[in-house]
Amino acid sequence: MEAITPSRMRAVDINCAYLGMSPLQLMENAGAGIAREISSQTRSATVLFVAGRGNNGGDAFVAARHLSLIPGFRVRLLLLGSASLIRTAEARTNFDLLRYSGVDDVKEIRDSADLRSYPGWKDADIIVDGVLGSGMKGLPREPESSAIDLINAADAFVISIDSPSGFDAGTGSVEKCVRADLTLTFHKMKAGLALPSSKALTGEVRVLGIGVCRDAEEFVGPGDLRNLTVRSNSAHKGNSGSILVIGGGPYSGAPAFAALAALRAGADLVTLAVPGSISGTIAGYSPDLIVAGGLHGDRLCPEHVPFIRRLISSSDVVIIGPGLGRDGATLEAIGQILPLCRKAVIDADALYQLPLPLPDGGEYILTPHGGEFFRLRGNRPGITPSLQEKKELVRSFSLDSHAVTVLKGSIDIISDGEETRFNRTGNAGMTVGGTGDVLAGVVGALFATNSAFDAASCGCFINGAAGDLAFGEKGYGLLASDVIQNIPYVMKQEW
Ligand SMILES: NC(=O)C1=CN([C@@H]2O[C@H](COP(=O)(O)OP(=O)(O)OC[C@H]3O[C@@H](n4cnc5c(N)ncnc54)[C@H](O)[C@@H]3O)[C@@H](O)[C@H]2O)[C@@H](O)CC1
Ligand SMILES: [K+]
């Protein structure tokens, strides 16, 4: 059974909101699912809901309302703290609805003494634990800690919402935790809940669907950007990544686009290793660009490799390819450079005749468009493959190549050989030259502080969303430089 981590679940949650599902809908589905499970378990019972001030408690409010409508159930609810401290709007809305529902008594607990003296612990047949879910941070504090003890001390059948309170569903580690007889978790099994060692705490675990749209998980969204490692405010020069762009020759714009995009995506330092014939041109584009001298001639060739090796040793990520051209000497130099890289984004001309599989020592992200991809794979499919067929082609190619692959298109397909994700941001205005170089720059910048798969998948989302902002401003007149200008707005946006 496929399990999901809490951080991925939070990303899916945010992606649902981005696609138009409200947290209220998810909470309503969660709570209704709990009530359905309880009423399928027994025909009548006195049920005590113990609710925290977060959305785990919110689920309890919804479940209590639904269960109170089913004959045979006496429903009570304890809120740990005052209603004014309920954290989210969706939980607050559902708490307020309780006063119009048939829930027998709703009590706001002031403190742990108040909690202990509550008479409802004695006659509850079922206790529903909505104290803490995936939002728990650190060890349970009061009054949650006492609530966990009282739930465990009660003589009732204990049902935990999403995960037993006190349980870290990511790692399965516990200090103080509810011992549930049944755990009802949402959408997918949680990694920690599935561990055999967790059984004593979770009891039977059932997964309840809550109507999460498929694309919230299959497509990159703002929730995934939340999981990116971002610059810490104590960062100093170089923490957020020093990038080396190896490009240029016949073309000078491409490496500059990649370099400027990497800066706009948060890289600290970006150095360009370009042939001397265009280094002046590129340096003239922007004072933000550092152009390393020394590549004499008009194209990259093997004699430049010793100098480039020194530049690579002081870089976190190499972006190689933009504007290099396909001269034989250049392709030979590329073959000598790749094994020197710890992390490299390989784009454009560097994808031409790429030696596969790639060397084991490094981590690589390939960013081909359709033509480059099918040449890399060595054959063009007869008919245009469907999205699902392309997904499998990209996944298997990534596995064989020991690389993360981004197959760019109106829907980007990203895979590391195991996971695959789609991205639909971007628009037809982005067929203008240079947007591929911009993507390589964004992905390279993210790669300095994130995994290859996260850098590639989030890089596609950011690049496309920046292109969508540029399209909003300039329509089909948008240029790659407009996309670059919009990258920071996408990255700082609170979705
Ligand atoms: N797609 C989803 O992820 C959905 C999640 N839902 C529910 O939302 C829950 C997560 O909700 P939240 O993120 O609000 O967090 P929780 O409700 O899990 O816990 C956060 C609350 O507990 C308090 N708290 C945190 N750590 C504590 C500690 N160590 N000691 C004492 N109190 C502590 C916080 O102040 C906050 O009031 C999930 O477990 C699930 O039950 C549902 O609404 C359905 C949709
Ligand atoms: K819980």
Instruction: Quick: pLDDT tens for 380-399.
Output: 777 788 999 999 999 999 99
Of the listed ligands, the closest to the CA of 201 is 2
Distance (Å) from CA 294 to ligand 2 centroid: 62
Instruction: State the distance from the centre of ligand 2 to the C-alpha of 161, rounded, in angstroms.
Output: 4
Q: Which ligand is nearest to the CA of 186?
A: 1
Same domain assignment for residues 168 and 252: no
Q: Give the whole-angstrom CA distance, residue 7 versus residue 2.
A: 15
Ligand 2 mean position to 96 CA, how many Å?
A: 21
Question: Do 263 and 197 share a structural domain?
Answer: no
pLDDT at residue 1 in the model: 60
> 186, 218, 250: which is the final residue of a domain?
218
Residue that wins the pLDDT comparison between 73 and 175: 73
Q: Which of 12, 13, 136, 149 to mutate to test the pocket of ligand 1 (most atoms within 8 A of CB)?
A: 136
ipTM of this predicted structure: 0.96
Q: Is 444 annotated as a binding residue?
A: no
Residues with Cβ within 8 Å of residue 256, at least 6 apart in sequence: 272, 282, 285, 286, 289
The predicted pLDDT at position 6 comes to: 86
Question: By the 8 A CB rule, do 239 and 268 touch?
Answer: yes
Alpha helices in 23-166 (DSSP H): 23-41, 55-68, 89-97, 112-116, 144-153
State whether 403 and 273 are in the same domain.
yes
Answer yes or no: do 294 and 395 share one domain: yes
Helix residue ranges per DSSP H, 265-369: 276-285, 305-313, 328-337
**CATH code, domain with 482:** 3.40.1190.20
DSSP state, residue 129 = E
Q: What is the mean pLDDT of residues 182-188?
A: 97
pLDDT recorded at residue 30: 98
Give the pair of three-digit tokens for residue 86: 């309920």
Q: Closest residue (by CA) to atom 16 of ligand 1?
A: 135
Say how many domains are in the chain: 2
146 lies in the same domain as 246: no
pTM, two decimal places: 0.91
Band of residue 168 on the pLDDT scale cut at 50, 70, 90? confident
pLDDT score recorded for residue 232: 57
192 is in an annotated binding site: no
Whether residues 174 and 244 share a domain: the answer is no
Q: Is 268 annotated as a binding residue?
A: no
Does the pLDDT at position 230 exceed 90? no
54 CB within 6 A, ligand 1: yes
* 348 vs 345: CA distance, rounded Å: 10
What is the band of 293 on the pLDDT scale with cuts at 50, 70, 90?
confident
- Specify if 81 maps to a domain: yes
C-beta separation of 188 from 3 below 8 A:
yes
323 and 453 co-located in one domain: yes
Q: How far apart are CA 427 and CA 410, in angstroms?
A: 7
Is any atom of ligand 1 closer than 6 Å to the C-beta of 287? no
| 8 A C-beta contact, residue 121 and residue 158 | no
User: How large is the angle between the packed helices 89-97 and 55-68, nearest 10 degrees?
Assistant: 30
Average pLDDT, the chain: 94
Quote the domain boundaries for residue 124. 3-218
Closest CA to 127 of 103, 149, 159, 99: 159
- Same domain as 252, residue 204: no
Distance CA 105, CA 117 (A): 15
Please tell me the predicted confidence (pLDDT) of residue 417: 97
305, 437: one domain: yes
Nearest to 166 by CA among 140, 199, 141, 197: 140
Question: Alpha-carbon distance 199 to 413, whole Å?
Answer: 38
| CATH number assigned to the domain comprising residue 68 | 3.40.50.10260
Q: CA 9, CA 95: separation in Å to the nearest integer?
A: 24
Look at phi and psi of residue 294 and say left if phi exceeds 0, alpha if psi is from -120 to 50, else beta: left
Quote the ligand 1 centre to 55 CA distance (angstroms).
Answer: 5
My answer on whether 33 and 128 are in the same domain is: yes
Looking at the fold, whether 186 and 271 belong to one and the same domain comes out as no
Tell me what percent of the residues of the chain surpass a pLDDT of 70. 97
**Considering 218, 242, 269, which residue would you say is the last residue of a domain?**
218
Task: Report, as an integer, the average pLDDT of 7-16.
Answer: 94
Helix (H) or strand (E) holding 7: helix 6-19
